[in-house]
Amino acid sequence: MILFVLTPIAVPQKPVAVMIHGAGGGGWEYMFWKPVFEKAGYRVVAPDLMPNPEGLKQTRFDDYVRQIVKIAGPSPEILVGASMGGVMVLKAAETIKPRTLILVCSGLPAGVVKPKPFEPYPDVIKWAGGPFSDTLAAMPDSDDATRKFAHPRWRDESGAVLNELKRGVPVQKPACPSLVVIPEADDTVPPENQQALAQWAGADTFRYKGMSHVGPLLSTRAGEVATAVTHWVKARLKTASE
């Protein structure tokens, strides 16, 4: 009798791209980015950030950051944050040390621009179950199928988290190659503020004329943006290794 011993073949692990959503959203916001990054050879992790066990009213900025640190692991190849998630990945990057950092229509950490007085948000911001007209207004450069997909998926958000962001959360400047994606028709975070963020971070920029706040992720051009980002990552990592 001849016995054959099968030797396991080591399968190289794919580099990881961790993608963090904005306020009131979820990992589904990366529905157009995920297939682009997967085709480029990445394993995409796009979680839904979870409220504090005591509820949204008790949820704080650090609750979300701790989740990002745990999910991302010690050194993902790519760490992406959109809007609210932008400041959160900047904070998480202090611990997990990503190889590249992507900030999309990002909120601003403390010290980038002079803060303005603001009306505090309520403890819980009621976004779930709102009228379709709100989704239409938020997604002017998306197609109707994407709006209909997004509309039932918006969720309520912690007002305390957004109040913390409005007051300004201190973070360290990123130590890795960074990119700021700026939609030039953003009516949530002014493009000039996002440009100031890029200057503060020493980051490269991609600017998109006529694109809305959520446009980089959910507009009809989202795949184009995602493809450009994957090319930027590969180029920057190649340069860093030379």
Q: Per the structure, how many domains does the chain have? A: 1
Residue 148 lies in a domain: yes
pTM (2 d.p.): 0.93
Residue 3 lies in a domain: no
Convert the pLDDT of each residue in 72-117 to its tens digit: 988 899 999 999 999 999 999 999 999 999 999 999 999 999 988 9
Residue 7 lies in a domain: no
Residue 5 lies in a domain: no
- Report the mean per-residue pLDDT for the chain: 94
Q: Which of 128, 132, 130 is nearest to 148 (CA)?
A: 132
Residue 131's pLDDT is: 97
- With 80 as the cut, is the pLDDT of residue 241 above it? no
**How far apart, in whole angstroms, are the C-alpha atoms of residue 5 and residue 2?**
10
**How far apart, in whole angstroms, are the C-alpha atoms of residue 31 and residue 125?**
24
Residue 75 lies in a domain: yes
Residue 2 lies in a domain: no
| Owning domain of residue 23 | 16-241
Q: Are 143 and 200 in contact (CB under 8 A)?
A: no
Q: Which of 124, 110, 106 is nearest to 56 (CA)?
A: 124
Residue 4 lies in a domain: no
**How far apart, in whole angstroms, are the C-alpha atoms of residue 160 and residue 190?**
22
Q: Residue 38 is part of a domain; what is its CATH number? A: 3.40.50.1820
